[in-house]
Structure 1
Amino acid sequence: MKPITKAVVIFLGIVFCLTGCSRKKDTFLSRNYHAVTTEYNTLYNGDVALQNGLKSVNNAFTENFWELLPIERFEVKDEVRLDSEGNNSDFERAEEKAIKAIQKHSMNIGGREKNPQIDEAYLMLGKARYYDQRFVPALAAFNNILNRYPSSDKINQVKVWREKTNMRLGNDELAIKNLRRHLDQEEIEGQDLADISAVLAEAFLNLEQKDSTMAYITVAAEETKIKEQKARYHFIRGQLYSEFGKKDSANLAFDEIIEMHRKIPRAFYINAHLAKAANFDADNGDKLAFQEYLAELEENRENRPFLNKIYYQIAEYHLSQGSDSIAEAYYNKSLRANTGDKTLNARNYLTLGDMYFDRTIYKTAGAYYDSTLTNMVQKSKPYRVTSKKRENLEDVILYEGIAKTNDSILRLVNMPKEDRLALFSKYIDELKAADEAQAEQDKKDAIILAQATAKNVGNTPGFQRRGPGLPGANAGGPGASGDFYFYNPTTVAYGKNEFQRLWGDRKLQDNWRLSDKRGTDATDAGIEDVIATATDEDRYNPEFYIGLIPTEQTAIDSLAKDRNYAYYQLGLIYKEKFKEYELAKSRLQNLLKFNPEERLILPTKYNLQQIYEALGQTGEADIAKNEIISNFPDSRYAEILRNPQSQLAKDENSPESVYEATYAQFEEQNYAQVIQKADESIKNFEGDAFVPKFEILKASAIGRLQGFEAYKESVNYIALTYPSTEEGKRAQEILTTALPALESREFIPDEDQGEFKVVYQFDNTSKETVLEFIKNLETEIAKTPLRNLTVSEDVYNANTTFVVVHGMEFLTRAKGFTGFLEEYKDKESKDIARPFFVISSPNYAIVQRHKNLDQFLTPQ
């Protein structure tokens, strides 16, 4: 063929293809060209992007087998996004490809779509938007298919996706209604039936109708051909059955997963084993076979990534069997093997904390509860419960420490000198043996350290000699191998031991070298510091320790008083907060043996009577009741015991009534009486929950009467004495936030202010005189045209009272206030001529706060 002819043929062929493949012509060539191009070009690339995006979503999702698994592996965010811009570039690309397929290859001729791939494009468009969590635009894409392509072969899938989207938008009832109608109208089977059933199960689960969820998730598990889905659905079935208390049915569901073994992700396989183990019937099951089963899980090398959960399950079994020591060992192994599972961490720490709490080792229990809280979701119910328990432990740790330390010291006080000498001689013999063993170990460690250091310095790669005599110069040649100093566990251990020996247990904080930073209990920190700084001669001398025992009666009495109060507080805490009645009884009974001060005896006996009743010890309860009624007939405790129905009634002697009466005095500005009454109540109601309330009311009265510094001191006392109460926490908040802002004593120029007060000062004047003046002043003010003025009586201090006229807007009007009153006087006017001073509202607050009136009246 001639070249010119060949060119013409090619040209005509191109023209024929371009005109023959038009989207406006319903021809065989046009339909197939656009269908093939759509499927194998645009949609193929879009599907690749969609799968990549889905893979990133799945990788970001972490299965939480501790809770009911979601039916769809998809984490939905709280907000509903309406914008058209995507968050994920892969989903955005998939959306772009779907839109391109629709725009360039759609063949809508005569109201019918001739390209069979366009419904696929809309389906991809909806999926991309769904996974990008833009559910409203996704819903529009799925509805477009249902409205325009009702005969599509993807109609079942489209309806599934539309109802999934409705469900994500909170329309669970609508999703159920639509899918049930679809099941009634069509015969659906296989994967389509599995997908529809899964959506129905999740919708019912959202509505908390778990019986219906169980029915549909069972169908989904049977019909799906996707192994991972089958494992998920069976696992959810097992979880629901376990929740219903049907352990046998749950284990059958877990067995379905176990039988799939390597066909599913290992996480489902192992967690199915562990969930089944959690359902073990310890009363009727074969314990030996079960222990072998757990041991096999532990020893299987393939299970190493899941050892944390396996150890936890083994620990749970031993704990249920009363083998606490074995259980504790496995809980700790679970913590050491953990791979970042915060829920598992929280469970381990919480159980260990409870175990130590039950053993009354409260300081260790508190540390475990602290670790528990760091692994819990804040603002959740378990977090709040554990946090409250930890807060309650603060007082237990404090008072148990005081009780233990003071008991030990008082035993030494009462011990004969020869017994003291024998006790400390034995202690010194043990101390010498320990020191000798440590010295021997230090020598061995020093040798090992020297050898390891020489090896490391000589063989560190790339460590080159820079010059003769430089410290740390490398004696080895280039390329020598060896471990860096801090990679050697022996040298590191030696370094840690040396640090502990020299510095003690130091917290990670600034200025850690200071002597008062050594980690010791607050109760015995002083003695520990003395012993820590003692010479070896003193440390090996019994008389040195005997000399530390207090001998002055005042110090001994103080120790006994603090010990008694600690025992009383422990009894109340165990009784009221923890319901540990045996512990409470023990502490209060021991307190009575110590012959405590009078104020503790009656409340201790009353609380013991309540504890006896709670424990069902009616005999002891009756004895205690009769003793209180006989020996303390006029007390409010005796009144409560005589009339149990009025236990919480507000009689005049109850702390509630006394507090209300005292607060009424506070509102009447009788601050001196408030302080006196609060002091009396604090003594009378020792240990009652109202005591901190009286303290903070007293502090407020002191502040009003004595000023800022006295108030600050009182608030600081409350924060230190009652740190775990609401009043103590509020006092601490006042100290850190409110008081610094009120500390300034500097006055502000009155000319710059917009509100002023006229103040009349009364010194050592009777209440009646002040009230009479106020009455006359209000009468005279009422004769003037001013209607926004008010008069108040304000206490300044114990000897001075102010009568204050409020509401002056201008300084000149305030200074001429007397003249203004004179202008409107009449024949019936009373003589109210009296010296006064004018002050702005901000400066009046400073005067009342800091009691510096003299400074204001006679500025320097």
Structure 2
Amino acid sequence: MKIPIKAILLIVFSTVLATSCSRKKDNFVSRNYHAVTAEFNALYNGYLALEEGRNTLNESYADNYWEVLPIERMQIQEDVVLPRQSKNENFNRAEEKAVKAIQKHSINIEGKEKNPQIDEAYLLLGKARYFDQRFVPALAAFNNILNKYPTSDKINQVKIWREKANIRLENNQVAIKKLKRLLADEELDDQDLADATSILAQAYLNTKSVDSAITQLNIAANATKNNDERGRYRFIQGQLYNQLGYKDSANIAFDKVIELNRKTPRIYMISAHIEKVKNFDYENGNKQALLEHLTALEENRENRPFLDKIYHQIAEYHLKTESDSLAVNFYNKSLRTNSQDKLLRAKNYQTLGDMNFDTSKYEIAGHYYDSTMTNLVLNSKPYRIIKRKRDNLEDVIYYENIAHVNDSVLQLVNFMETERLEYFESFVEALKVKAEEDEKRAEAAERNTGLATVNNTIGGQASNRGIPNQASLFYFYNPTAVAYGKNEFIKIWGDRTLEDNWRWSNKTASNSGNNASDVNIVDLASDEERFDPQYYISKIPSDEKVIDSISKDRNFAYYQLGLIYKEKFKEYNLAKSKFQNLLNSHPEERLIVPSKYNLYKIYELLGENDEASIAKNEIITKYPESRYAAILNNPDLANLKDEQSPERVYEKLFALHENQEYATVISECETYINAFDGDPIVPKFELLKATAIGRLFGYDAYKKAINYVAVTFANTPEGQQAEKMETEVLPKMASTDFVEETDDASTNFKVVYKFENTEIDAIQAFQKTLDTVLENIIYYDLKTSVDVYNPNTKLVVIHGLKSGQVAKTFNQLLTKEDNRKITEPYFAISSANYQIVQIHKNLDTYLNIYNN
């Protein structure tokens, strides 16, 4: 059979082509075949993948315009990536294509690369690794080009990319030195010049050389061919000028961003407008023109995606021009845009919170601060500042509620019978109106229920939601009825958490002014009682002891509010009014002098010198024996911790506690708690006393004492700490079961000698002798301590033994001479069981179980 001549020629041509394209031959066909194949196959697809990955990075990256922007849009992730893993599949594919081009198309003959596309492949490899945030491997790829391909036409780009990798690796000084050398030695193309100077600017920013960074950014903005980059560089220039305080220069830079208009991303233009508004001089500038400019930005349809920022800036304008109601309106408008800028939302909430705080709407302010914290990074400095303010506000809300409620009750107590009747008749009328409105809403809900039933039934059959026809009448399947029920519940009880005993009177509503006491009087009354004024009149306290208790609580609330406003919020006028109200309310003796002294300090701070002099003279003349009079007579004492100040007394008692003198601490705490009654330091004494009680008398006594602190001082840091101890720590300490004592490597043992508490001299002498004896034991590092067990017993303890058997036969470690010195009986115990013995004071039980 004849073979066609064309087939023979094709086979011969293919064979010649294949043999001539070998990577081991340096000829024209081989070089160009591999160059073309590498460029239009592997490298083309690799660069497509790289570009796709960069677009993904840009889309996922969110700039923080509250800070100076980075030169390059790339979010550095802290996630650990294992070898051969990638954070972005596109960059992984680009790297694979670069490696493929190198492996299949490199023509390395006698140490020289003959394929002109291989340097491009290494550059792609370095870029893929760089954007995948593997900077060390990227640096290796760039260095490989510089070492093997020094004559490459890409050499300047490679040097720039190498320094970008160095900057990411925080080698800023190295990058600055090499980039400056590159700029001095080479005549760079415009885009290469822009890339080099922009990355040099980033290095200067990292080293806090702001002036140098501005200069380099100016060069980059003029040289770049990319308007996106130009807009970013100019905007960063403006931010840096603002950072240096050069507002005029900043505005010139922002104007250049605005001039680019649609040539650059609109976010840069809008942000430039906003930054210029922030730089506005409200004292000398044209405010009307500024408002018209902001209004024009708001009404421009193209700016709709940025209304959150525009509304916020309009609100700031109205706040500075003292149009508070308009400011609140625009802050709320900004929030309603559902902005993705968390810092913007946080600033909106914080400002609204501050405005409500300034008008004494503390509960509303607290809710705004809560929302502020949800938009801040947990445990960041701004978060901690707001949290501290919110925690302080909790005390304000608590004491303001006490003051308000008790003032109202005392006002009713002082009413005449006719005044009471008139007041509650008006109150009952309001209840009737409310009841009628509730009845109308209930009827409307019932009608809606019937409508919902019809709508949920099609052709006499249940809807296709899988709910039977009868079920469509079920309360929870009717959204209208459910919504009505929720509103009614919140209106009566407030927004309560799902927990046991939710109706208890001490569980106040978090979102409502109502509390359980309101419910007990109004909502739990019968229908006849609810609309009977005499029912409410009968609830007004008449017992003098009860009235006196209400008055004392109100006065103490005034005192605490005065201290909080003065010390924590620096709201001196508010503090002054609270102390004055307290002194006008016939307070207890213990609150009078501290209140007058605090008023004296407030008068000084407010510059009201005449009132300060009157308050000072009154304290000195009427209360000459008080420590406040002593401070006023000798001002130097105010700057010293005198021996009788609460702080100094507490320090002394704490030192006694550290020295295990628990009985003295308990006794002295009781004395000073009475002496400093009303002082903010009292909860600290109570907590110290509770701790000493626990150390001396054990778990049960400690539990009772810590509960007292948690309940009595619930709104103080000490009370909150006690509550945390009660809920989290005490349950872990509750068990009295001893653990099994084994010679495990992790188990420590102690040798214990028991003494009566009265044998103080004997205990000290014994410990001294024991320390001397232990120095002769060279195989163990042993130490001693004297621990209080209870009011009648002290324990001398040897620490550092790892074996229960060695602890039980401790006397065998001693020499005969030392055994004659140490004749006291002892017992061995594991560290875990020793802790249980000290917590529960059940040493006798332990000794009965483990008869040493």
Would you call these one fold, judging by a TM-score over 0.5?
Answer: yes
In structure 1, the residue matched to 2:727 is 736
The residue matched to 2:457 in structure 1 has which SS? helix
Aligned partner of 1:543 in structure 2 is 534
Shift of the 168–802 alpha-carbon distance from structure 1 to 2, 3 Å rule, reads closer
* Residue in 1 that maps onto 2:829: 840
Q: Distance in 1 between matches of 2:77 and 2:459?
A: 54
Aligned partner of 1:178 in structure 2 is: 178
Q: Note the C-alpha offset of 1:376.
A: 0.3
Kindly tell me: are residues 194 and 513 of structure 1, through their superposed partners in 2, closer, same or farther at Cα, counting changes over 3 Å?
A: same
Distance 1:722 1:222, change over 3 A: farther
Residue matched to 1:645: 636
Q: How does 1:376-415 map to 2 (within 5 A)?
A: 376-415=376-415
For residue 195 of structure 1, what is the aligned residue in structure 2?
Answer: 195
- Aligned partner of 1:185: which letter? D
- In structure 2, what is the Cα distance between the partners aligned to 1:816 and 1:64? 67
Paired with 2:664 and 2:414, the residues of 1 have a C-alpha distance of: 44
Q: Aligned-pair distance for 1:103?
A: 2.4
Q: Distance in 2 between matches of 1:53 and 1:559?
A: 69
Distance across 2 between alignment mates of 1:93 and 1:659? 68
Q: How does 1:551-700 map to 2 (within 5 A)?
A: 551-666=542-657, 669-700=660-691
Q: CA deviation at 1:264?
A: 2.9
Relative to structure 1, the CA distance from residue 414 to residue 498 in structure 2 (aligned partners, 3 Å threshold; closer, same or farther) is closer
1:446-485 deviation digits (Å, cap 9, x = unpaired): 4355335423534899936999975549xxxxxxxxxx98
Which residue, 771, 777, 788 being the options, matches 2:760? 771
For residues 197-596 of structure 1, what are the structure 2 equivalents within 5 Å? 197-458=197-458, 463=463, 472=472, 494=484, 496-497=486-487, 500=490, 504-510=493-499, 519=509, 525-596=516-587
Query: Which residue type is aligned with residue 168 of structure 1?
Result: R
Match of 1:705 in 2: 696
- Residues in 2 aligned to 1:375 and 1:222: alpha-carbon distance in whole angstroms: 38
- Distance, in Å, in 2 between the alignment partners of 1:547 and 1:584 is 36
SS at structure 2 position matched to 1:647: helix
In 1, Cα distance between equivalents of 2:354 and 2:267: 29
Q: Are the structure 2 counterparts of residues 78 and 209 from structure 1 closer, same or farther at C-alpha, using a change threshold of 3 Å?
A: farther
Letter in 2 for 1:395: D
Question: CA deviation digits over 1:279-334, x for unaligned, max 9?
Answer: 33333333333333323333333333322222212211111111111111221222
1:625–1:641 Cα contact (<8 Å) kept: yes
2:95 corresponds to which residue?
Answer: 95
Question: Counterpart of 1:587 in 2: which secondary structure?
Answer: helix
Cα distance in 2, alignment partners of residues 61 and 369 from structure 1: 28
Secondary structure of residue in 2 paired with 1:759: strand
8 Å contact from structure 1 (residues 757, 814) kept in 2 = no
Paired letter, 1:354: D
Structure 2: segments with no counterpart, 5+ residues: none
Please give the alpha-carbon distance, in whole angstroms, between the structure 1 residues aligned to 2:330 and 2:619.
50
1:599 Cα deviation after fit: 1.2
Q: Distance in 1 between matches of 2:773 and 2:754?
A: 18
Residue identity matched to 2:760: L
1:84, 1:137 within 8 Å by CA — same for their partners in 2?
no
- Does the C-alpha gap of structure 1 residues 726 and 434 become closer, same or farther in structure 2, counting only changes over 3 Å? closer
Match of 1:478 in 2: none
Q: Deviations over 1:97-116 (max 9, x none)?
A: 11222222223445543322
Structure 2 contact 749–807 (Cα < 8 Å) conserved: no
Counterpart code for 2:185? Q
Q: Does 1:757 align with 2:752?
A: yes
Q: What is the Cα deviation at residue 837 of structure 1?
A: 8.2
CA gap of 1:327–1:856, structure 2 versus 1, over 3 A, is: same
Contact 2:456 2:463 in 1 (8 A): no
**What amino acid is aligned across from residue 771 of structure 1 in structure 2?**
I
Tell me: CA distance 1:111–1:682, structure 2 relative to 1, closer, same or farther (3 Å). same
After superposition, the Cα gap between the structure-2 partners of 1:491 and 1:640, relative to the gap in structure 1 and judged at 3 Å, is same
Q: Quickly say closer, same or farther: Cα 1:224–1:790, change in 2 above 3 A.
A: closer
- State the SS of the aligned residue for 2:325: helix
User: What's the CA shift for 1:200?
Assistant: 0.9
Counterparts of 1:706 and 1:432, CA distance in 2? 58
Following superposition, the deviation at residue 602 of structure 1 comes to 1.4
CA contact (8 A) 2:456 2:462 kept: no
TM-score by length of 2: 0.88
The code of the aligned residue for 2:375 comes to N
Q: Is the 8 A contact 1:129 1:135 kept in 2?
A: yes
Question: Displacement, 1:584?
Answer: 0.9
Q: In the aligned structure 1, how far is the partner of 2:248 from the partner of 2:459? A: 62
Structure 1 match to 2:142: 142
Matched, 1:850 2:840: yes
CA gap 1:456/1:320 in 2 versus in 1, 3 angstroms: farther
- In 1, distance between residues paired with 2:330 and 2:434? 31
Residue 546 of structure 1 deviates from its aligned partner by 1.2
1:715 to 703, 706, 714: 706
CA deviation digits over 1:612-666, x for unaligned, max 9?
1111112222222222222232332222222223323233212233224334544
Q: Which moved more, 1:55-64 or 1:261-270?
A: 261-270
Q: Are residues 29 and 608 of structure 1, via their aligned partners in 2, closer, same or farther at CA, if it must alter by over 3 Å?
A: same
Please report how far the alpha carbon of residue 572 of structure 1 lies from its aligned counterpart in structure 2 after TM superposition. 1.0
Cα distance change, pair 465–821 in 1 and its aligned pair in 2 (3 A): closer
Measured on the aligned residues, the alpha-carbon RMSD in Å equals: 3.8
Look up the match of 1:7.
Answer: 7
Give the C-alpha shift of residue 166 in structure 1: 0.8
- Deviation for aligned residue 1:189: 4.2
Shift of 1:127: 0.4
What does residue 27 of structure 1 align with? 27
Instruction: State the secondary structure of the residue aligned to 2:639.
Output: coil
Change (3 A) 1:782 1:8: closer
Change (3 A) 1:821 1:534: farther
Cα distance in 1 between the residues matched to 2:772 and 2:111: 90
Pick closer, same or farther for the CA change 1:190–1:838 going to 2, 3 Å: closer
Q: Judging changes above 3 Å, is the alpha-carbon distance between structure 1 residues 591 and 46 closer, same or farther for their aligned structure 2 residues?
A: same
Compute the displacement of 1:201 (Å): 1.0
Compute the displacement of 1:687 (Å): 4.5
For residue 45 of structure 1, what is the aligned residue in structure 2? 45
Deviation per residue, 1:553-598 (Å, 9 max, x gap): 1111111111111111111111111111111111111111112111
Q: Deviation at 1:813?
A: 9.1
Deviations 1:116-173 (A, max 9, x none): 2222111111101111111111112112222232332222221211111111111111
CA 1:698/1:107 → structure 2, altered by over 3 Å: closer, same or farther? Answer: same
Deviation at 1:672, TM superposition (A): 3.7
Please, which runs of 5 or more residues in structure 1 have no aligned partner?
474-483
Alpha carbons 2:509, 2:515 under 8 Å: kept: no
Asked if the contact 2:750/2:807 (under 8 Å) is kept, the reply is no
- What CA distance in whole angstroms lies between the structure 2 residues aligned with 1:695 and 1:112? 84
Distance 1:621 1:468 in 2: 78
Q: 1:358 to 1:134 in 2, by over 3 A?
A: same
* Alignment match, 1:481: none
User: How many Å apart are 1:510 and its aligned residue?
Assistant: 4.5
| Preserved contact between residue 660 and residue 787 of structure 2 (Cα < 8 Å) | yes
Q: Secondary structure at the match of 2:274?
A: helix
Deviation track 1:711-759 (CA, whole Å, cap 9, x = no partner) reads: 1121222234445655444433432343223222345688999544342
More off after superposition, 632-641 vs 749-758:
749-758
Q: Is the 8 A contact 2:751 2:807 kept in 1?
A: no
